[in-house]
A and B are shown apart, each in its own frame.
Chain A
Amino acid sequence: MIPSLHTAGLYIHLPFCLQKCVYCDFCSYTGLEAHYTAYIKALLAEAETRAEAWSNRSFDTVYIGGGTPTVLPHDLLIELWQGLERRLPIVSREDREITIEANPGTVDTLFLASLHEAGIQRVSIGVQSLNDHELALLGRIHRADQARRAFQMARAAGFENMSLDLMFGLPGQQLEDWQRSLQQALTLAPEHLSLYCLTVEPETPLAAQIASKGMPAPDDDLAAEMYEWAQDLLCAAGYRHYEISNWARLTAEDERPDLMVPALACRHNLKYWRYESYLGLGVAAHSFDGRRRWANLEDVSEYIARCGRNQDTTAFCEELSPEQQLGEAMMLGLRLIAGVSRRDIEARFGVNLMQVYGAEIERLVQQGLLESDAHDRIRLTRRGRLLGNRVFAEFLR
């Protein structure tokens, strides 16, 4: 059951930002510039500590996320990347995907070129919106023209696989505002697009603003319209929808009929949705080895101190029962537009999906949220993509 001599993903968390965005509830900090060097050193120490347990895998995807990884000086980022390559079994250049998140306002061509040269092939740019008013409202540090420029600089620096993040369902955002942002984003011709509906997380400044009526609450019905419209536009523009929030530009390779996801899909994120293993390094990073999931502590100073003493940095760990594993695999797998293969489930978990979840699947099909083809796959319907939580919950006990 535990994949051995198998590939795994590697996630690196760099929890630093110049400014917190109003909607953000993940682990990132401002004003810790003095800790950058020590943090990278600590992170490499953690890589070394964890390396042995992962020695029977090789990493074929790496995702450097945050936070804002690009607030770090480029030489520190390169030191990090080279340090990881030395300590962990990362596969050779032609077989791997290395992504870094970059935020407009923190990069220039030279900076990006040095990352590309160091071997990072893919960049994901946190554009979020191409409307200055919306960017200000979200608490982003950049303006729309900086976002366009950042994208062009990355192209100029040699990146051939680039992704853009955009957000919709913002407070006060109208359908036309969203249409304009997305159409302008398409003029940049990215290889990949992630479109995220804004989630108002509790205890964020945004939640407080909405609670105090300082900002209108997002309108779910309107967000649904925006999503529907985006699906149609991107399909017409030559993008393939492959996960609830993700699209990839079609290429010649995608002519092959057996491909369940487009060639330009984010291979690292696919590991999450396919319930494959990943190792996360850095504060608050999550890892999964096929059976257990654990997370690191969140405090930067504490993390640096423990790594310095070669102590464990795990703050949370859970052992997943076979039943939970199956439920999670369904919850994640159904996020893919191609859905879940019954054969794959049987091969991996040794159970017949219809025997375990027959009643649930039948009900969801009746409700028009799921569809299943006669022989193998079950997937969300177009309507089900907007009501995914109702579907996923049925597979959890």
Chain B
Amino acid sequence: MVAIDMIRQPKIAAEDVRNFCIIAHIDHGKSTLSDRLIEHTETISPRDMAEQVLDRMDLEREKGITIKAKAVRMFYSADDERLYELNLIDTPGHVDFAYEVSHALSACEGAILVVDASQGIEAQTLANLYLAIEHNLDIIPVINKVDLPAARPDEVAEEIEDLLGVDASEILRISAKEGIGTRPVLEAIVGQIRPPQDGADAALRALVFDSHYDLYKGVVAYVRVMEGTIEAERPLRIMSTGQAIEPLEIGVFAPTMRATGALRTGQVGYVATGLKNVRDCRVGDTITTASRPASEPLPGFDPPKSMVFAGLYPIDSEQYADLRDALEKLQLNDASLVFQPESSAALNLGFRCGFLGLLHMEIVQERLEREYGLELLATAPSVEYQVLGRDDVLRIIDSPAELPDPSEIEEIREPWMEISLFAPKEYIGPLMELATSRRGEFRRMHYPDARRVILTFSIPLAEILVDFHDQLKSVSRGFASMDYLFEDYRAGDLVKMDILVNGEAVDALSIIVHRDRAYDKGSALVRRLKEEIPSHMFAIAIQAAIGSRVIARSTVKALRKDVLAKCYGGDVTRKRKLLERQKEGRRRLKRIGDVEIPQEAFMAVLRLDQD
């Protein structure tokens, strides 16, 4: 591999460089198409080609999604007999990671829009497509999976024609899985996407669009050189902070990091900075040359904002320090993860963590458990509330436990989102019902094509956090998709609902709810907890209360019988092991007073609307 690469370092002029990304909905085939492009250009020998090269994390492969943007450089001998350098910058497809998409788009001149031939365009694809158009990218629409029986490429082509104004008959039809139509896609990339502007003589301006932390190389900044050149041995500087960089290595992604010693105008690659903290070299920063700095940085990005907050607690409290170390390590590669220590009477010591969305939360929790061997308990996710006190002080809280006494509160404000639901028009009724049952306020409706509708609502974020996406899929038989954007903070009649187990409030189970929804949520929660909490030697009362007023209750009956009748033929070993297993199972429960609560109970609040 190294030998081949040494031979293949042709010097390519900026006019023969193409920088692009792929926009697609989850499962519409972005990763598969990437693989085909990488294969076709022989960037990796077929022998070394693991499926879906770009999605490196196990989790990404399992969930079929891309979490972090990555890049790969390819060389392509086109039909015009010229050799092109193609840089594919990978983008995440999930709405939680929308902010990363705009980083990737800023580094490109073009985008391939991949649309599934049976599913058509989905809400998130549309949102990313609009972003790409905003970034003034050249768009190449491609219809994928045309080989599948359910494919309806003609209809999908018309949808795209309506949307982009391109001639339906000219839209490429491919099967990335079968490798059909790969070369036409490559031809379209060199033919339809413009080359980067040539600014070789200007002062260096390189945009940092992603980064990761490497034990030996420090922070590795993923850059797109907009103007000028990055050369070895030439000190660099980060424009926003003035931080000096002595680059340890400069190179490209092929697709693993390959040192090249320099990056020229229009190229995409990396700079190993040796910096020890990702915060010293943030995504959106501009890198310039220390000796001849540019006068203006490139337009940056807004830092990602946490939307969802939850407590993460080790099941075994001795793992607290390990959890802190693991969070710190994850944060090196994921600047969007924030956390601070938190303590709970029920769960002891843990961390209050901020996430971009529920998927992000799920991924962080899974990575902590899988990669760091931790056993974790997550509390119900919460949004960030603004609490205006009678003293006129505005407090920001992201946990029900922090809510002051009602007598001290003037008003509570919660974040509202503008949510777009995209579905075939026959689902208008169920979608309306779903959104309004979650306090959604209808805004408008429009038809991007003859068959489908986009419904826009204003809705409290807290109402779509939990379970909304699943419900959306279930009322629309999987056809609807959604996208949302922060709108504003609005005052609401919000109250804190506590859960009492045998009279004792369990802080980790408290939630903030709208007063109109409190009774329903309270009843559902105590019912769910009754199922999750095993019988004890005594009866257990579970109550939902607002202040001192109990609004719902249920009882777990006392256990009367737990004894093995017989010990067959002296098989004492089996009996002992059975009891040891039972005991070990109980050891993993959380003790609240005398009551042992399984970790599932703490997640019960997540599934309230599934009854």
The A interface is mostly helix, strand or loop, or mixed, namely: mixed
Most chain A CB neighbours (cut-off 10 Å) among B561, B565, B572: B561
**A160 proximal to B (CB < 8 A):** no
The reply to whether B567 and A332 contact each other, CB–CB distance below 8 Å, is yes
Rounded to whole angstroms, the CA-CA distance of A204 and B540 in the bound complex is: 33
**B564 proximal to A (CB < 8 A):** yes
Contacts of A11 in B (CB 8 A): 569-570
The reply to whether B570 and A65 contact each other, CB–CB distance below 8 Å, is no
The reply to whether A272 and B567 contact each other, CB–CB distance below 8 Å, is yes
The reply to whether A245 and B566 contact each other, CB–CB distance below 8 Å, is yes
The reply to whether A393 and B582 contact each other, CB–CB distance below 8 Å, is yes
Binds A, one of B11-19, B197-205, B465-473, B573-581: B573-581
The reply to whether A392 and B572 contact each other, CB–CB distance below 8 Å, is no
A358-397 contacts to B, CB under 8 A, are 367, 369, 385-390, 392-393, 396-397
Given A387-B537, A393-B583, verify A280-B570 contact (CB < 8 Å). yes
Binds B, one of A138-146, A281-289, A306-314: A281-289
**B549 proximal to A (CB < 8 A):** no
B583's contact among A284, A287, A396, by CB below 8 Å, is which? A396
B576's contact among A220, A284, A396, by CB below 8 Å, is which? A396
Contacts of B564 in A (CB 8 A): 199, 388-389
Rounded to whole angstroms, the CA-CA distance of A318 and B580 in the bound complex is: 16
The reply to whether A387 and B563 contact each other, CB–CB distance below 8 Å, is yes
A interface size (C-beta, 8 A): 46
CB distance from A200 to the nearest CB of B (A): 12
Given A26-B568, A331-B579, verify A386-B573 contact (CB < 8 Å). no
Contacts of A287 in B (CB 8 A): 570
Given A331-B579, A393-B579, verify A388-B563 contact (CB < 8 Å). yes
The reply to whether A331 and B575 contact each other, CB–CB distance below 8 Å, is yes
Given A26-B568, A272-B567, A332-B567, verify A389-B573 contact (CB < 8 Å). no
Contacts of B82 in A (CB 8 A): none
Binary flags per residue of B170-181, CB closer than 8 Å to A gives 1, else 0? 000000000000
The reply to whether B570 and A272 contact each other, CB–CB distance below 8 Å, is yes
Rounded to whole angstroms, the CA-CA distance of A388 and B560 in the bound complex is: 11
Binary flags per residue of A320-332, CB closer than 8 Å to B gives 1, else 0? 0000100110011
The reply to whether A389 and B566 contact each other, CB–CB distance below 8 Å, is no
**A265 proximal to B (CB < 8 A):** no
Rounded to whole angstroms, the CA-CA distance of A324 and B580 in the bound complex is: 11
**A196 proximal to B (CB < 8 A):** yes
Contacts of A280 in B (CB 8 A): 569-570
Rounded to whole angstroms, the CA-CA distance of A369 and B563 in the bound complex is: 12
B560's contact among A221, A316, A367, by CB below 8 Å, is which? A221
CB distance from A105 to the nearest CB of B (A): 22
Chain A positions within 8 Å of B, measured between CB atoms, are 11, 13, 26, 65, 194, 196-199, 220-221, 223-224, 227, 244-245, 272, 278, 280, 284-288, 293, 295, 316, 318, 324, 327-328, 331-332, 335, 367, 369, 385-390, 392-393, 396-397
Listed A/B pairs (28) with beta-carbon separation below 8 Å: A11-B569, A13-B569, A194-B566, A196-B566, A220-B560, A220-B561, A244-B565, A245-B565, A278-B570, A280-B569, A286-B569, A286-B572, A295-B571, A295-B573, A324-B576, A328-B576, A331-B572, A331-B576, A387-B559, A387-B560, A387-B561, A387-B563, A388-B562, A389-B562, A390-B562, A393-B579, A396-B583, A397-B580
